[in-house]
Amino acid sequence: MYIDVKPLYTQIRSELLKRIEKLRREPKLVVVTYKPDSSTISYLRSQEKSAKRFGLDYEIIEGKTPQHVIKLLRSFSDDEEIDGIFVTHPLPDVDEMEVFENLDPRKDIEGRHPYNLGMLAYGEEFFAPCTAEAVIKILESYTEIIGKNVVIVGRSNTVGKPLSLMLLRRDRSATVTVCHTKTKNLSEFTKKADIVVAAAGRPELITKEMVKENAVVIDVGINVTENGIVGDVAKEVSDIAKVTPVPGGVGKITTVLLMEHLVKAAERINF
Ligand SMILES: NC(=O)c1ccc[n+]([C@@H]2O[C@H](COP(=O)([O-])OP(=O)(O)OC[C@H]3O[C@@H](n4cnc5c(N)ncnc54)[C@H](OP(=O)(O)O)[C@@H]3O)[C@@H](O)[C@H]2O)c1
């Protein structure tokens, strides 16, 4: 079966609308991208739609070189009209840490600055990466996490690694295993998991044989293929487990959380 994330989306959305009404001006989000791939372009499209729906100011700017990206981030960090800055991932041929050090952590609404990522180790999630936070919110609204065996497939700084820290927080206390391309016998890990989070960016990597019956499977993948957008989890997994759909699952919650982070940044600046 599929997990319906709409009630969670509706709840986040209605709370957010009330907060937006109280702001003195329209919050502004600037997206800085560099050589965006097809999944990034697809993600930005849904971001833009969502920003418009909430009446938020949204602009995309493409950097010409890595140095140009850094220059843009410095100037947007100093610009008082801009509340939040989102830098797309991946950034080909770029040292991401060097880039993010040039971003004001108070405007880092995707939680990629070393300060915001480091805060996760202390259990502080003011700006956690939105996709990792979306996975947490879906799990918290759907199932018990404490004591569960969670296997995350993928160790990126935007999803796998921050998510592992967030799941280890004492109030969540999951037992976490993080897998990657050097993991031997991936299915041995996923088969034992109560919860599988697939964040590898590989179409239909997780098959029915790799998942135990009734497991909760969170599909983070957004893969643009000739058959349209597909996740990292094969369709037939939903015959035996509870799976988030792609599209309309993690991505839906991620996008609304990014808007929530923008409003949080604007509230901090405006009050
Ligand atoms: N739904 C959303 O809102 C949302 C948001 C962001 C990203 N995404 C999607 O989520 C996916 C992952 O994104 P990302 O930015 O984390 O990707 P990424 O930076 O490319 O990282 C992918 C991770 O998956 C691991 N991996 C790749 N192939 C694997 C395999 N066959 N077996 C085991 N591990 C494997 C990689 O291992 P190594 O470290 O060993 O290379 C790496 O750690 C993409 O499809 C992306 O489009 C979705």
Q: Domain segments of the chain: what residues? A: 25-123+252-270, 130-250
pLDDT at residue 268 in the model = 85
**Best mutation site among 222, 225, 259 for ligand 1 pocket (most ligand atoms within 8 Å of CB):** 222
pLDDT at 93: 86
pLDDT at residue 1 greater than cutoff 70: yes
Rounded average pLDDT over 8-29? 95
Share of the chain above pLDDT 90, in %: 91
How many Cα atoms within 13 Å fall on the side-chain side of residue 137? Answer: 26
130-250: in CATH 2.70.70.10: no
Give the residue whose CA is nearest to atom 37 of ligand 1: 180
pLDDT at residue 271 in the model? 53
Q: What pLDDT was estimated at residue 36?
A: 95
Q: What integer is the mean pLDDT of 87-113?
A: 93
Percent of the residues in the chain that have a pLDDT greater than 70, as a whole number? 99
- Best substitution site from 112, 155, 157, 244 to test ligand 1's pocket, by max atoms within 8 Å of Cβ? 155
pLDDT, one tens digit per residue, over 113-153 is: 999 999 999 999 999 999 999 999 999 999 999 999 999 99
Question: Does position 10 have pLDDT exceeding 60, yes or no?
Answer: yes
Mean pLDDT score across all residues of the chain: 95
User: Ligand 1 centroid vs 167 CA: distance in angstroms?
Assistant: 18
The side-by-side arrangement of strands in the sheet containing 216-219 is 175-179, 149-153, 195-198, 216-219, 242-243
What's the CATH fold of domain 25-123+252-270? Answer: Rossmann fold (3.40.50)
- Can you tell me the mean pLDDT for 209-220? 98
Atom of ligand 1 nearest to the CA of 40: 47
Ligand 1 centre from 200 Cα, in Å? 3
Fold agreement between 25-123+252-270 and 130-250: yes
Does residue 222's CB lie within 6 angstroms of at least one atom of ligand 1?
yes
Q: Is 269 annotated as a binding residue?
A: no
Report the pLDDT averaged over residues 7-26.
Answer: 95
Among the residue ranges 60-74, 87-101, 127-141, the one predicted with the least confidence is 87-101
Half-sphere exposure in the Cβ direction for 71 (13 Å, CA): 8
CA 168 to each of CA 55, 102, 107, 184, 257: distance values in angstroms, whole numbers, following the listed order = 36, 29, 26, 23, 21
Which residues have CB under 8 Å from 228's CB, separation 6+?
A: none
The pLDDT value recorded for residue 78 is 96
* Confidence check: pLDDT of 270 > 70: no
- Residue 46, Ramachandran bin (φ over 0: left; ψ between -120 and 50: alpha; else beta): alpha
Cα of 163 vs centre of ligand 1, distance in Å, is 13
- 156 known member of a binding site: yes
Band of residue 34 on the pLDDT scale cut at 50, 70, 90: very high
Buried b (16+ CB within 10 A) or exposed e, 85-111: bbbbbbbeebeeeebbebbbbbbbbbb
Higher-confidence residue of 199 and 227: namely 199
CA distances from 141 to 5, 138, 167 (A): 9, 5, 14
Query: Quick check: CB of 181 below 6 Å from ligand 1?
Result: yes
